Structure 1
Amino acid sequence: MMPLWSRAQQQEFRSRVRGCLLGGAIGDALGAGIEFEPLEKIRAEHGERGVTGYVPAYGRRGAVTDDTQMTMWTVDGLIRAHISRDGGAWHPPSDVHRAYLRWYATQQDWGPDERRADLGWLGREEWLYARRAPGQACLSGLSGPDAERLGTVEEPRNPHSKGCGTVMRAAPFGLLTAWDPSLVFQLAVECSVLTHGHPTGYLAAGAFAVIVHSVARGGTLEEGVHLALALLSERPRHEETTAALRGALDAVRAGTPSAERVEELGEGWVAEEALAIGLYCALVAEDVRSGLLLAVNHSGDSDSTGSICGNLLGALHGETALPPELVAELEGRGTLLELADDFVLELLHGPDLHGSPAWAGRYPVPS
């Protein structure tokens, strides 16, 4: 439960949570239609500036990908973790793992299995039952005969994988603003190794969560980066992630932002590159729109870098700073807002909700 906050503080927190989830989804959707295209092709098809709004992907404009799907399931898992704590159980990675297994079901099934009592309201959203180019490590880490086994830092799933699928879903950990930053970092790490076991993968996720945490508490992006660097320095095999964050800071000082400067940071298919690109674009953004467009118009994993940038800018500025026409056309906007508001309700008023049959139906937890 949050400390006692004024009404204005609660409203600001709600705006930042909504901004983070919506902003990430908008960045994801902006990049979805150009994810696998080189920069020269993007410019040939859409003009020298590249895409300036949504382009069709997965049969519509404003479609989100696995990045937004898994971010939503992270939120679902965190809500259930807080409910479980009220009953005496407290191991958030287990709740997040179960949430990711529910996401995996949406990648296999045609629609909700009404025989499953654990789905909750999110698992009954039929539009989520769609494959949107999920990462192989996410799929393999949650499938097979030992899918129920919880990956740990000592024995992670996919120990050699550092794909960006570990970072693009980690923003919600940073929204636990009452937590100490070191605990936010650790939780993001422990939930990353459920599918990605390479140190760079899980440390990049921890760093990203801490940066989100910093801005969600009212700090600056730069403050978040320096805190993340300090926490990274305490971890073995942090060098790649540290170098990526320092590279993003150096790029800010290198001159006018451009797609070419973005591409100097990498393509974004691996965790540290996706984090560096998303962070750089957020740091140099004149406004949310310009930052998001810079984050997607490059050769590489455009939806993941757009998502990371959008999470950061949304948490920094709140939902009202998001481009309204992009909000209006976003797939799943209603679901995202409902989930964001439930997260806020749980963190601010959880004990008042836990006796409610309606809340238990929305977020059933193991007895």
Structure 2
Amino acid sequence: MVLSGVGDALGYKNASWEFCRSGERIHEEAKELGGIESVTVTPKDWRVSDDTVMHIATAEALLTEWSDSDQLYSSIALKYLESMKDMDGRAPGITCSRKVHMLDPHKKGGLIIPFDQAGGGCGAAMRAAPIGLYFWRPEQLDKLVSVSIESGRMTHHHPTGYLGSLAVALFVSYSVQKRPLREWGAGLLRTLDTAKEYIIQHSPQRDHKEHMDNWTYFEQHWKDYLALRQLTSGKTDAVFEDHDVKSVKERDAFYKSLSYSGTGGASGHDAPIIAYEALLNTWRPVGDKRRQWIDLCEHSMLHGGDSDSTGIVAAACWGAIEGYTGVPENHYRLGVSRSPSLTGEGYSPESYP
């Protein structure tokens, strides 16, 4: 949770990096700061965006007292509505801002907004990591699927949007399980079958055609990406030789090629793809963890796309895999000690389980 906030804050940089479309310029600015490893992340100087506010809202809802799905979903909706009060200076997404106010947690059927042809953004994905932390066990997969979809389509009622929520929750659960990275994409494709069946069973009949007509965009983009990296089977490591992304300029171009409309990471399909790509490029089971973390920051948070949304996902996975291993203390220590809103009263890094 804490590193998710770090990934968001670094990618956001008080809105200036999130909305900068030149990764090279962002890297130049980071260099002027002494390199990303030298940055001291504090709530005052490095604000978190709407991503973290809604990420926390998801976690708080999961930790309320609930005994069935209806109670949980009502709690999630209430927390999302409440989170809108803390969006000043955080550049909230238009879809989240508009759609969350359509929710009525006190009305039967008031938690599912109409199908939205423009609901394929990354707003559902950016806030879904706590679902993977809560339902991380393999035997909880059905629950992870249902909660990630239902929480996602509260604002993003389109397969590209709510499947982004599923992908992030699933990848965080894989991180906790310590599953090899090469297996993640193949696991997601298998899980999409479960997700499709869930949607067929739990959507109004009038929406079935819209869901199925728009389903293939997310699925096909993931199939194409996994084929590119030779990860379709989940049994071999990623291959990068033919599509190198070592330079900042090459990464920007590649991330843009994955996108829906030219901004890498702005949609439900490519935010988790870019976070996954960044992890594949940088994380290794052994090696210099500090270098790996800095590389992950540069790949997932310092690019010319929706850098806070890809950063929050990549950092969430790192935290679930490695904890604070390799992370410079100046990236999280002051934020932990000075921001009860992010971590809870009495929190300290040493007490983190």
TM-superposed deviation, 1:253:
1.7
State the 1:41 CA deviation. 2.9
| Separation in 2, partners of 1:330, 1:66 | 17
Q: CA deviation at 1:61?
A: 2.9
Q: Gaps spanning 5+ residues in structure 1: where?
A: 1-20, 108-129, 342-347, 349-367
**Is residue 130 of structure 2 the alignment partner of residue 172 of structure 1?**
yes
1:203 and 1:79 map into 2 onto residues whose CA distance is 23
Q: Is the 8 A contact 1:172 1:209 kept in 2?
A: yes
Number of the residue aligned with 2:82: 102
Task: Supply the AA of the counterpart residue of 1:27.
Answer: G
Q: What code does the residue aligned with 1:302 have? A: S
Judge which range, 187-196 or 233-242, deviates more: 233-242
1:186 aligns with 2:146: yes
Q: Tell whether 2:283 aligns with 1:303.
A: no
Structure 2: distance between partners of 1:339 and 1:284: 36
Name the CA shift for 1:145/1:282 in 2 (closer, same or farther; >3 Å): closer
Cα distance, 1:263–1:233 mapped onto 2, change above 3 Å: farther
**What percent identity do the matched residue pairs reach?**
26
Instruction: Give the Cα separation in 2 of the matches to 1:145 and 1:309.
Output: 29
Structure 2 CA distance for aligned equivalents of residues 73 and 44 of structure 1:
34
Kindly indicate whether the alpha-carbon contact (under 8 Å) linking 1:327 and 1:333 is maintained by their aligned counterparts in 2. no
Q: Is the 8 A contact 2:39 2:331 kept in 1?
A: no
Partner of 1:242: 219
Tell me the alpha carbon deviations over residues 270-306 of structure 1, each in whole angstroms, 9 at most, x when there is no partner: 1212111111101221422211221122211111111
> For residue 138 of structure 1, what is the aligned residue in structure 2?
96
| Contact 2:33 2:39 (C-alpha < 8 Å) held by counterparts | no
Which has the higher mean CA deviation after the structures are superposed, 50-59 or 142-151? 50-59
- Return the letter of the residue paired with 1:184: L
Alpha carbons 1:156, 1:195 under 8 Å: kept: no
Note the alpha carbon deviations across 1:52-96, whole angstroms, 9 max, x for none. Answer: 25779999433211111110010001111xx121xx785322111
* Superposition TM-score, scaled by structure 2 size: 0.73
Return the alpha-carbon distance in structure 1 between the equivalents of residues 123 and 298 of structure 2: 21
Equivalence for 1:336: 342
Letter in 1 for 2:52: T
Structure 2 segments unaligned to the other structure (5+ residues)? 197-211, 230-237, 257-263, 284-291, 348-352
CA 65–78 in structure 1, closer or farther in 2 if over 3 Å, else same: same
Q: What secondary structure is seen at the aligned counterpart in 2 of 1:265? A: helix
Distance 2:120 2:345 in 1: 28
Relative to structure 1, is the Cα distance of residues 91 and 278 closer, same or farther in structure 2, using a 3 angstrom cutoff? same
Aligned to 1:84: 66
Contact conserved, 1:63 with 1:330, CA < 8 A, in 2? no
Moved more, 278-287 or 315-324: 315-324
What one-letter code is carried by the residue in structure 2 that aligns with 1:28?
D
Q: 1:1-367 alignment to 2 at 5 Å?
A: 21-33=1-13, 34-39=17-22, 40-47=24-31, 52-53=36-37, 60-80=44-64, 83-85=65-67, 91-107=71-87, 130-143=88-101, 150-152=110-112, 155-156=113-114, 158-176=116-134, 177-178=136-137, 180-234=140-194, 235=196, 236=212, 237-249=214-226, 250-251=228-229, 252-255=238-241, 256-258=244-246, 259=248, 260-261=250-251, 263-266=253-256, 267-286=264-283, 287-330=292-335, 333-338=339-344
Q: Which residue type is aligned with residue 301 of structure 2?
A: V
- Give me the TM-score of the superposition, normalised by structure 1: 0.70
CA distance in 2, matches of 1:89, 1:240: 29
What is the aligned residue count? 295
Aligned-residue RMSD, C-alpha: 3.3
* Displacement after TM superposition at 1:131 (Å): 3.5
1:162–1:271: 8 Å Cα contact kept in structure 2? yes
1:86-136 Cα offsets, whole Å, 9 max, x none, are xx78532211111111112333xxxxxxxxxxxxxxxxxxxxxx3300001
